[in-house]
Amino acid sequence: MAQVQLYDTTLRDGAQREGISFSVVDKLHIARKLDELGVHFIEGGWPGSNPKDIDFFHRAQKLALANAKLVAFGSTRRPRAKASADTNLLALAEAGVGVVTIVGKSSEVQVVRVLETTPDENLNMISDSIRYLKARGLAVFFDAEHFFDGFKDNPAYALRTLEVAAQAGADYLVLCDTNGGMLPAEVVAAVEAARKMTAVPLGIHAHNDSEVAVANTLAAVQAGATQVQGTINGYGERCGNANLCSIIPALKLKLGIDCITDAQLARLTEVAHYVSEVANLVPDPFLPYVGSSAFSHKAGLHVSAMSKWGESYQHIDPTRVGNQPKVIVSELSGRKNILHKINEMGLSQSLKTEEVQRLVEQVKLRESRGFQYEGAEASFELLVHRSQPSYEPPFELVDFMVVVEKRRRPSLRKSLEEMLSEAVVKVRVGSEVMHTAAEGNGPVNALDRALRKALLQSYPDLARVRLVDYKVRILEANVGTEAQIRVFIESTDGTQEWRTVGSSTNIIEASWIALADSLEYWLLKQKAQG
């Protein structure tokens, strides 16, 4: 199969996703990452549309890319105008790049209803624009917008736009499923028709409105397309673009097309997460190949099989894309799940077979009571330690009390109402019982402060630990205020993060369990580090 070029449009089409707004510096950083990944073309933006993209192309001249070529994007000239006088085309010619992509209509209906011009004038617009840019010494890729919709409605006209672009000197003809509504069989038929009428290489640009953008892209490649356009993580307008993080490994590992090196492929997960962070979006854990849960295993049957043969429930070796397998501990777990997690903690040698089985039973019992360990591995690790007779906790709860009171505070004009939460905590550290109280802006905050006040006397380094997230879930909404409550707490010491869980019909008790686990886990880790 022919070599395939990778064309990334994250900085232009991907930036059109709702909620994304890249700065010029963001775009420069992402461009460097894409170059390291080994993509062949990076579409930097539309210099004729906004000052930010003009600035990007000016500053991008200093990037010194090793693998990729920068591409400027624009459109054909306006109807009934001269290409040499079109400000958009002038901006493309002056962007300082050697490759440009211009979009033009390939659907007769779109030409008449949206451009409000004639089909013949649209053909002139395509031809004039490409000839103008070629005369300026540029390589030109023609994005045939709405090609597949146009091919369904009037195949002769859609193919004619490609023919005109080819005759004008286009270096690539990129077939666009602009509305994202095509299915793979329709894509194949249209690509094969285009191949028969031109020798100019074809590309594919698919949107994901029908959830088949990746499938359509791969189908187009198998039908003869040799350039794929897409974005990192599938970012893009509406439902997004074809996801290069799925396309690249599919090309290389499934179709045997060496579009990037093995070393570059191993950076795919890193690049995917990097772009999501720069975009200020939470990485999607369930994305294929690069998601943190893409190779997670929860069912005991699966984990048991994988301990015998790693490919039993994984379609590829996750390390090839820079990811890693993850075993989840839950009520669906068997001994293999527990043993795998214990091995990760380095405790397998200290647990007997019967102790492991008791842990399995305890996990199942506690999860039936509302605990959930797949999102709270710190609590699970504590569960393992507590199952060992030799384990000595750094502190033990004696009792606690929380008072929530609404007070009226008189002022000059009117009485002001305020809520007050106060917690009283007794904990045993060694042989000494610490008895402290503290106020907070809520019962959980008051508990946290009172517990810390008690423990800081013995463990002053606990001052580094802070709570960064607190989530509450009602497990049985149909029983109202009597429902079981699950509390997740995420904590950090500024270097690492960890998550703990508590469950009870009492939200304060559930919060206490998760909070106490958080501090005990950190103290345990500090002791292990010496």
Tokens of 113: 């209803």
Length of the chain: 530
Quote the pTM value: 0.72
**Which residues are bridge partners to 227 per DSSP?**
5, 203
Q: What is the pLDDT of residues 428-486, one digit of tens each?
A: 998 899 999 999 888 888 999 999 999 998 999 999 998 888 888 876 655 555 678 88
Residue 6 pLDDT > 70: yes
Between 518 and 280, name the one with better pLDDT. 518
499 has a pLDDT exceeding 50: yes
Cα separation, 72 vs 303, in Å, equals 48
Which residue is listed with tokens 């490649």?
Answer: 221
Tell me the pLDDT tens digit for each residue of 30-77. Answer: 999 999 999 999 999 999 788 899 999 999 999 999 999 999 999 999
Other C-beta atoms lying within 10 Å of the C-beta of residue 336:
21
Distance CA(394)–CA(91), nearest Å, equals 67
Query: What is the C-alpha to C-alpha distance for residues 373 and 386, in angstroms, rounded to an integer?
Result: 15
Domains of the chain as residue ranges with CATH: 5-278 (3.20.20.70), 296-386 (no CATH), 395-458 (3.30.160)
331 pLDDT more than 50: no
Give the pLDDT band (50/70/90) at residue 416.
low
Task: Determine the pLDDT at residue 476.
Answer: 64
For residues 203 and 524, the model is more confident at 203
Q: Which residue has the higher pLDDT, 350 or 43?
A: 43
3-state secondary structure 186-251: HHHHHHHHHHHHCCCCEEEEEECCCCCHHHHHHHHHHCCCCEEEEEHHHCCCCCCECEHHHHHHHH
**DSSP reduced 3-state for 320:** helix
> Between 366 and 511, where is the model more confident?
511
For residue 386, CA distances in Å to 135, 150, 390, 448, 528 come to 76, 67, 9, 22, 15
pLDDT digits (tens, 9 = 90+) for 229-282: 999 999 999 999 999 999 999 999 999 999 999 999 999 999 999 999 899 887
pLDDT digits 0-9 by tens, 89-101: 999 999 999 999 9
pLDDT number for residue 413: 57
526, exposed or middle or buried, with CB in 10 Å at 0-12, 13-18, 19+? middle
Question: Which structure tokens are listed for 270?
Answer: 């890193």
Tally Cβ neighbours within 10 Å of residue 194.
Answer: 25
Of 160-164, 293-297, 345-349, 493-497, highest mean pLDDT = 160-164
- Res. 379 pLDDT band, cuts 50 70 90: confident
Residue 41: φ, ψ to 5° = -135, 135
Contact present, 242 and 216 (Cβ < 8 Å):
yes
Beginning with the edge strand found earlier in the chain, give each strand of the sheet holding 396-409 in spatial order.
Answer: 396-409, 416-429, 432-440
Indicate if the pLDDT at residue 333 is higher than 60: no
The number of beta carbons lying within 10 Å of the beta carbon of residue 320 is 15
- pLDDT band for position 332 (50/70/90)? very low
What are the tokens at 464? 């580094």
Question: What's the N-to-C CA distance of the chain in angstroms?
Answer: 57
**485 pairs with which residues across the strands?**
474, 504
Question: If you average pLDDT over residues 171-197, what whole number do you get?
Answer: 98
The dihedral region occupied by 369, where left means phi > 0, alpha psi between -120 and 50, and beta the remainder, is alpha
Strand partners, 296: 326
